[in-house]
Amino acid sequence: MKDRIVVTAIEKMFDQRRLSDDDVRGSVAGFIDGTVSDLTIATWLGAFAARDVDFDEVKSLTDAYIASGRQMESGPRSGPVPVDKHSSGGVGDKVSLTALPVISAMGIPVLKLSGGALGLAGGTADKLASIPGFRVQLGHSELESILARSNLVIGSQTADLCPGDSATYRVRDLCGAVKSAALIAASIVSKKVAAGSTRVVYHIKWGEAGLVSDEASARGLGELIDALSRAYGIKSKIVYSAIYSPAGYCVGNLLEVIEARRFLGGHSAHPTLREEVYAVCRALLEVASFDPADADRKITTAIENGDAVATFDRWLVAQGADKEFVDDPELYFSSLEPERRPVHAKRSGIVARIDPLGIAEIAATLGSAKEAIDDCIDPVAGIELKVEVGTEVSAGDVIATLWSGQPISEHLELLSYNSIVFAAD
């Protein structure tokens, strides 16, 4: 019966007819009850992605994802409404780990549910789970009590939040429907609505290492997400960034947490990371209806006066991080005795490009990302770049360090060298 509803909807799409709310809702119910094959689900998703769907159909799909699971109630709270942020994913993207403590330090509460990631880029939940003791699986009352204590909480999405989306996410890969704006928008916004978020900044990145490859597609996706969010009463703002290089010096879970803390302490000012953090913070201040005057100066002050890093540490402790880590993250990292392999420049020159996709693949091979849902992530695995675009390098200089819990091959060293491209003389 469920199969029939799904197949009828597929036929309608093949006939260029619009799907009704009932067609979509019945189909999504079929996706999660286990009676509809992956092949049929993939055909439905492929047909949906290939059409020029109208806004009402995207809204129906979003409604169906939300209705497929539980909706979190935001408890009675006094004071400002919490803000949330979502990124479409990048390489070395630690903007949530940096922008959110800054905003929280400025007095704005932050509540975010984050997904882990399959594929090359780790999700924020994976990065946080690499911190010893840190708990990302939090129930509703724990989320609220941590928010009350540290003004910042990030938990992982639970399986009962939009299971219809999870069922489709799994097979989108199989039918080339990962990059469909309609499917991405329904997937992202449904989870924000189900999580009870009402003020959200979406950070959409484009490039060959991104979810969308060019600026026009990124803007099209942003406009759809914005319109859909408005339809659910979410106040939203979209920030766009190109992925020309990794967002920071580090790519890898613990390495990125450590870089985020260094940034918040005023010790690391990678230009791409700084630019993205400031852009996202400005947007968060806007959705929080904060006075926008002098936003950049206020952000800089929160970093320079120590409030941002203190907020970060307080938040880690509130979510269970081991004291040993919070006291000295870099000493903790060394105490794990990871394997390391320096990458040396073979010639002198100026760094012209750092290939984000190449770097992401190397970090994943070192163990920083999952290929399958049950794979384990190696918390120490990743790459620490010692250069950025424009750095002048002499032959023999260390331009990157590879880290892993496993022995590191010479081949990976060579691939890393090749991902850091020098300007032609």
The nearest distance, CB 402 to ligand URA, in angstroms, is 28
Closest distance of CB 40 from ligand URA, Å:
20
| Residue whose CB is less far from ligand URA, 219 or 341 | 219
Tell me the window of 183-191, 302-310, 363-371, 412-420 that interacts with ligand URA (CB under 6 A).
183-191
Task: Decide whether 209 or 393 has the Cβ nearer to ligand URA.
Answer: 209
Binding mask 342-381 for ligand URA (x = CB under 6 A): ----------------------------------------
Region for 239 from its dihedrals, namely left if φ exceeds 0, alpha if ψ lies in -120 to 50, beta otherwise:
beta
CB of 190 to ligand URA, least distance (A): 9
Position 188 contacts ligand URA (CB under 6 A): yes
User: What is the pattern of x (binds ligand URA, CB under 6 A) and - over residues 250-289?
Assistant: ----------------------------------------
Binding mask 105-124 for ligand URA (x = CB under 6 A): ----------x---------
184 binds ligand URA (CB under 6 A): yes
What are the angstrom distances between the C-alpha of 356 and each of 208, 242, 249?
8, 11, 11
What is the rounded CA–CA span in Å between residue 151 and residue 111? Answer: 8
User: Binding to ligand URA by residue 416, rule CB under 6 A?
Assistant: no
b/e sequence 265-292, b meaning 16+ C-beta within 10 Å:
beebebebbbebbbbbbbbbbbbbebee
Query: How far apart, in Å, do the first and last CA atoms of the chain sit?
Result: 67
The CA R_g of the chain, rounded to the nearest whole Å, is 22
Which DSSP helix (H) or strand (E) runs through 148?
helix 140-150
Task: Report the length, in residues, of the chain.
Answer: 425
Q: Is 229 in the site for ligand URA (CB under 6 A)?
A: no
Please return the burial class of 309, using the count of CB atoms within 10 Å of its CB with bins 0-12, 13-18 and 19+. buried
Q: How far is CA 79 from CA 76, 82, 131, 287, in A?
A: 10, 9, 30, 15
Q: Least CB distance from residue 373 to ligand URA, whole Å?
A: 15
SS3 59: helix
Nearest to 400 by CA among 271, 379, 409, 415: 415
Q: Which window, 28-36, 148-156, 187-195, 411-419, contacts ligand URA (CB under 6 A)?
A: 187-195
Q: Does residue 88 belong to the site contacting ligand URA (CB under 6 A)?
A: yes
Nearest distance in Å: CB 254, ligand URA: 23
Q: Which residues in this chain contact ligand URA in the complex, by CB under 6 A?
A: 88, 115, 183-184, 187-188, 191, 211
